[in-house]
Amino acid sequence: MSQVTETTIPQQAIRQLFTEARTHHAWLPKKIEDSTLQSLYDMMKWGPTSANANPVRIVFVKSGKAKEQLIPCLMPGNVDQTKAAPVTAIVAWDERFYELLPRLFPVAPQMKGMFSSNKEMAGFSAFQNASLQGGYFILAARALGLDCGPMGGFDRVKVDEAFFKGTTWKSNFLCNLGYGDASKLYPRGPRLPFDEACKII
């Protein structure tokens, strides 16, 4: 455990967000209200992004019809857990996020032109910052008492065709949401220690 103390953030919050939070693959039959999903977004949106671009876009797959569209896009090992999850979020990014920069970053409206004239830079920035927002998404969900099952085992072309055809949105990763069945968790995997993963120079 780091030197974080109760004076900065309660230890229970650290446990809920990080040290005791787990990736879940089995779910209890408990629904998630639409208001909870809205609260999730309203919390995560405050995390920082470059030029306040906020390129993340999210589709909450909740209805039976929408799940039927999603299931054929998944790798076989992800089908059962996704069927059982109350909600599956498609965490995506908008290729033309820069169209909103005059509103989101009014201190430098010229940023729109910088990105619109450089497709490679815009694509990298959108994916990078939407991925960052995906991390905020998971933490916000955990803060609200939800469990998460993020996954990359799906066909992105199929997902984009099924859910984003005719738009500038592109899928990044999926995240099952719900209340995990802790009785079906397997032993937690190890993490790298500081000295293996970090350097102070």
- Calculate the average pLDDT of the chain: 95
Going from the C-alpha of 65 to that of each of 7, 62, 71, the distances in angstroms are 47, 8, 10
Q: For Cα atoms 123, 49, 60, give the angle at the middle one, nearest 5 degrees.
A: 75
| Whole-number pLDDT of residue 8 | 81
The alpha-helical segments, DSSP class H, found in the chain are 11-14, 34-44, 64-70, 79-84, 101-104, 111-116, 119-143, 156-163, 194-197
Question: Within a domain: residue 20?
Answer: no
> Across-strand partners of 55?
none
Question: Within a domain: residue 5?
Answer: no
Please report which confidence band the pLDDT of residue 4 belongs to, taking 50, 70 and 90 as the band edges.
low
Question: Within a domain: residue 184?
Answer: no
As a whole number of angstroms, the distance between CA 190 and CA 195 comes to 14
Question: Within a domain: residue 87?
Answer: yes
Residue % of the chain over a pLDDT of 90: 95
| Section 85-99 average pLDDT | 98
Higher-confidence residue of 5 and 92: namely 92
The two beta strands, 87-94 and 147-151, are unpaired
Please report which confidence band the pLDDT of residue 3 belongs to, taking 50, 70 and 90 as the band edges.
low
Phi, psi angles (nearest 5°) of residue 188: -70, 140
143-197 confidence digits (pLDDT tens): 999 999 999 999 999 999 999 999 999 999 999 999 999 999 999 999 999 999 9
Q: Is the pTM of this model over 0.85?
A: yes
Please report which confidence band the pLDDT of residue 2 belongs to, taking 50, 70 and 90 as the band edges.
low
| Section 20-44 average pLDDT | 97
Question: Within a domain: residue 122?
Answer: yes
Please report which confidence band the pLDDT of residue 106 belongs to, taking 50, 70 and 90 as the band edges.
very high
Domain count, the chain: 1
As a whole number of angstroms, the distance between CA 132 and CA 58 comes to 13
Question: Within a domain: residue 172?
Answer: yes
> Across-strand partners of 60?
89
| Whole-number pLDDT of residue 6 | 52
Supply the CATH number for residue 58's domain: 3.40.109.10
As a whole number of angstroms, the distance between CA 92 and CA 171 comes to 4
Question: Within a domain: residue 102?
Answer: yes
Domain span at 90: 28-178
| Section 33-55 average pLDDT | 98
What is the residue-wise DSSP string for 127-152? HHHHHHHHHHHHHHHHHTT-EEEEE-
Question: Within a domain: residue 9?
Answer: no
